[in-house]
Amino acid sequence: MIVSIEQAIPRIPEIRFQEPIQWQIGIGEQWAVIGPNGSGKTILADLLQRRYALKEGEIKFGIEGKTHEIVKSIAFKDIHTLADQRNTYYQQRWHATETDELPTVESLLTNTSDVLFEEIQTIFNIKEHLQKKIIHLSSGELRKFLIIRTLLSDPKLLILDNPFIGLDAESRGILMDMLEQVVKLKNLQVILLLSNPDDIPEMITHVLPVIDRKCYDPITSELFRKDKVLQRELFPAPNKQLQQPQPNEASLHQTTVCMDKVSVKYGSRTILKDVDWIIKNGEKWALCGPNGSGKSLLLSLIYADNPQAYAQKIYLFDRKRGTGESIWDIKKRIGYVSPEIHLYYMENVPALDIVCSGFFDSIGLSRKCDAAQQYTAIRWMSVFGIEQLKERSFLSLSSGEQRLILLARAFVKDPDLIILDEPLHGLDISNKQRVSNIIEHFCMRENKTLIYVTHYLHELPNCVTKRFELTKHK
């Protein structure tokens, strides 16, 4: 065995499983731990890294070396560690310039042996990105480079938490090819934490199903793929959808967004060039394009986060940007959720406060909600199936639970424009179905405009009838 968890019971009561944890990982085995959001997958990963003391049982390794050197874990929130920029704020990405004292990709990846760096660079084909400032990488690019940097530390056991979310089809293929190559070349063993059976790659040999902090018996990946009964038990169909709170009066503006020859450069790099896009009131659009094509940048111009909007011909809600409106005038009409907002939303406050902050477009609750607003926030949490989390600290929740909280925050003020950038990012099958139904029903309201971003075109809501495609500039 490379790892053996024997009758383990964590010392902290809040993270204990229903039964003592028993799990053996043999040499050469590649595992997927699969279960719904909040089922305990991340706790298992933390136990493997000895982040929790045990009340009973033990964890034994069949490899020599310190645990933090032989076992590495990568989760969505760990993107902060790539640049060690925990104090970087969300808007800084759009305010940063080429001269700022921010690290480049190359400076963060070359602190290793030349031979290993050349091997990884060849596999990933990353040469064109080496001189980029780390803060200017897209969410998908950040995820890819975090994996690269971790591989350069030459671990023996690599834990990847939902590694495919936020990656376009090409990047997902590259990641899988890379993992298969590295597993063969470096005797690396992989554990994937997944919320969707369809994400289990061919290289996986064994599956550990988990639900409600209970480990089922391990099973081969071949048998798991065939066992539809087990999959339905792990991911039951969502309950009947609750009625959404009453809508506000419909907005009568004509054009929600108008961009006329919008171009944006950072230093010598052109991200957007001569973009023309008109979105009429009530239209539902898909915004598509590969990682690094500028989708997040384009949305930052609409959501009033990017100062370059003032140098462009952009109209929002029939009014030209820079003609006297404040950013808060714009934001109060837009509900927005994205991987970037999720990444920088690190408030250690109750989940209800996070949802309520959507009324004020703030990070954290900057002012107190009145009784009507709090009632509406709780109603939206119930719609998303997360009312029971309202008193829990946001940072104590799983990544999928956090995403549901941020989605409720985006809908809470019944916005005229809803921008959903990878809204199903990190959600299990049941919650994906629930959120998709919520989006469809919301978009049936009069004069609601939607911009939906996803790399999984089958996830697009049925209400989406138009598509805008961005291309990546060299």
For the stretch 235-274, pLDDT in tens is: 998 887 789 999 999 999 999 999 999 999 877 788 999 9
Phi, psi of 211 (to 5 degrees): -155, 140
* Residue-wise pLDDT tens digits, 148-192: 778 778 888 999 998 887 777 777 887 788 778 778 767 789 999
Find all residues with CB under 8 Å of 42, minimum gap 6, and list them.
Answer: 75, 161, 193, 398, 399
Looking at residue 159, its pLDDT comes to 94
Q: Decide: 428 and 235 in contact? Cβ < 8 Å.
A: yes
Q: Which residues pair with 404 in a beta bridge?
A: none
| Residue whose entry in the numeric block shows the structure tokens 């967004």 | 257
Find all residues with CB under 8 Å of 30, minimum gap 6, and list them.
Answer: 183, 189, 190, 191, 203, 204, 205, 206
Find all residues with CB under 8 Å of 183, minimum gap 6, and list them.
Answer: 30, 189, 190, 203
Average pLDDT of 386-398? 93
Q: Which residue has the higher pLDDT, 466 or 324?
A: 466
Instruction: Kindly indicate the confidence band of residue 87, based on its pLDDT and cuts at 50, 70 and 90.
Output: very low
Q: Which residues pair with 4 in a beta bridge?
A: 24, 60
Buried b (16+ CB within 10 A) or exposed e, 95-108: ebeeeeebebbbeb
Q: Which residues pair with 336 in a beta bridge?
A: 419
Buried b (16+ CB within 10 A) or exposed e, 154-163: ebbbbbbbbb
Find all residues with CB under 8 Å of 127, minimum gap 6, and list them.
Answer: 121
Q: Decide: 443 and 244 in contact? Cβ < 8 Å.
A: no
Q: Decide: 279 and 285 in contact? Cβ < 8 Å.
A: yes
Q: Is 136 exposed, middle or buried (0-12, 13-18, 19+ CB in 10 A)?
A: buried
Q: Decide: 256 and 284 in contact? Cβ < 8 Å.
A: no
What is the torsional sign of CA 79, 81, 83, 84? Answer: positive
C-alpha span between 238 and 235 (Å, rounded): 9
Percent of all residues in the chain with a pLDDT value above 90, rounded to a whole number: 59
Beta-carbon neighbour count of residue 111 at 10 Å?
10
3-class DSSP state of 11: coil
Q: Which two tokens stand for residue 223?
A: 């048998």
Report helix, strand and coil shares of the chain as percent, to nearest 5. 40, 25, 40
Q: Which residue has the higher pLDDT, 117 or 221?
A: 221
Task: Looking at 399-462, list the stretches that DSSP marks H as alpha helix, in order from N- to C-terminal side.
Answer: 399-411, 429-442
Own/partner contacts of 373-376, CB < 8 Å, gap of 24 or more, are: 376/245, 376/412
C-alpha span between 80 and 285 (Å, rounded): 31
Q: Does residue 110 register a pLDDT over 70?
A: no
Where is average pLDDT lowest: 88-97, 217-226, 333-342? 88-97
What are the counts of helices (DSSP H) followed by strands (DSSP E) for the chain? 17, 19
The per-residue pLDDT of the chain, averaged, comes to 87
Looking at residue 142, its pLDDT comes to 73
| Residue 159 zone, left/alpha/beta (φ > 0; ψ -120 to 50; rest) | beta
C-alpha span between 140 and 145 (Å, rounded): 9
C-alpha span between 6 and 23 (Å, rounded): 7
What is the torsional sign of CA 292, 296, 300, 302? Answer: positive
Find all residues with CB under 8 Å of 349, minimum gap 6, and list them.
Answer: 364, 365, 393, 394
Q: Which residue has the higher pLDDT, 71 or 94?
A: 71
Where is average pLDDT lowest: 84-93, 212-221, 395-404? 84-93
Element of type H or E holding 201: none
Residues listed for the chain: 474
3-class DSSP state of 474: coil
Q: Decide: 87 and 102 in contact? Cβ < 8 Å.
A: no
Average pLDDT of 425-447? 95
Average pLDDT of 315-336? 93
